[in-house]
Structure 1
Amino acid sequence: MFKRILIPTDGSALSAQAANKGVSFARETGAEVVAVYVTQPFAATVGFDGMAAAYAITDEDYDKTAQQQAQKYLQSVLDRAETAGVKATGKAVSNFNVADGIVQTATEEDCDLIFIGSHGRSGLSRLLLGSVTIKVLSLAKTAVLVYRVKESS
């Protein structure tokens, strides 16, 4: 059925929950996993909140920290895949728009499914917070499976 499944992660507990389900799904379908973490370029942080100026962060510092964070979050998915006996690779990409980065990676890595989590928010909270998942759904030419994550209360 599916051969290569893209699983995006942002390092959050809810993202980890979706990634775990995605790895299980890959195991059940005999697919391999491509885990992706999308960072935004240094210029995005300067333009939106002045973080670099406020904390005297250089683009080299930002890139180094972003890469370390990406590897940490990707390794979590790769470890889960190894435990499940699923072939997996990780990829860190940079894009001003996280959804674009996910969709582009799915295309570049020849994935036939994007397995992504969603909080299931609706109404005003979705409008105010935005949704990477909704944007992925609107941009993707690849099949997308949305897993509704369960928030702990």
Structure 2
Amino acid sequence: MFKHILVPTDGSELSMNSVARAAAYAQESGARITLFYAQPEAPSVYAGLGAVSNAHLSQDLQTRLNEAATEILDAAEKVVHDAGASCQRVVRVGGKPYELIIATADANGCDLIFMASHGRSGVSALLLGSETQKVLAHSTIPVLVYR
């Protein structure tokens, strides 16, 4: 059985459904959960000819990104606790969520990655790609995809 599950979430309805299912599994099996959020990098703010800038713009953007991460993980943590399971939370910043997911699972000793799939197919899946597909392709840790 799996003992430590990484559950990435982006706050979407599908992702939160995955959190709920992972929490139920963890409660039944005695596993613990690490909730994960991949926070995007704040866009670069620059001052230059023709640029409109606010001295506090960078800090405001970073504050909003941090608040979004907290809000998403607060909601996910409530779902886990309501199911009677325990969890910890991890936020990592970067531009490639699938790499952050795999690195976090490795760093935290997770033995399963439990994540949602948005179910894209055909051309949209080919063009847009999928973080879930990238995790499946690159992870050496088992991945359970919830749809």
Interval containing the TM-score (normalised by the shorter chain):
0.7 to 0.9
Deviation at 1:14, TM superposition (A): 1.2
In structure 2, the gaps of 5 or more residues are 46-50
2:17 match = 17
- Higher share in helix: 1
Q: Secondary structure at the match of 2:17?
A: helix
What amino acid sits opposite 1:88 in the alignment?
C
- Residue 67 of structure 1 aligns with which residue? 66
Q: Is the 8 A contact 1:113 1:142 kept in 2?
A: yes
Question: Which runs of no fewer than 5 residues in structure 1 stay unpaired?
Answer: 48-52, 149-153
The structural deviation recorded for 1:46 is 4.6
RMSD: 1.9
Q: Is 2:36 aligned against 1:40?
A: no
When residues 127 and 46 of structure 1 are mapped into structure 2, their CA distance, relative to the original with a 3 A threshold, is farther
Q: With structure 2 as the length reference, what TM-score do the two structures score?
A: 0.88
Task: Give aligned-pair identity as a percent.
Answer: 37
Count of residue pairs brought into register by the alignment = 141
**TM-score when scaled to structure 1?**
0.84
The structure-2 alpha-carbon separation of the partners of 1:128 and 1:54, relative to structure 1 and needing over 3 Å to count, comes to farther
Matched residue of 2:123: which SS? helix
Question: Highest Rg: 1 or 2?
Answer: 2
Q: Specify the code of the residue in structure 1 equivalent to 2:26.
A: A
Secondary structure of 2:133's counterpart equals helix
Contact 1:75-1:90 at 8 Å conserved across structures: no
Q: How does 1:1-153 map to 2 (within 5 A)?
A: 1-42=1-42, 45-46=43-44, 58-148=57-147
Q: What is the Cα deviation at residue 59 of structure 1? A: 2.8
Cross-structure match for 2:48: none
Q: Which amino acid aligns with 1:21?
A: R
Write out the 4+ residue segments of structure 1 that deviate beyond 4 Å after TM superposition: 53-57
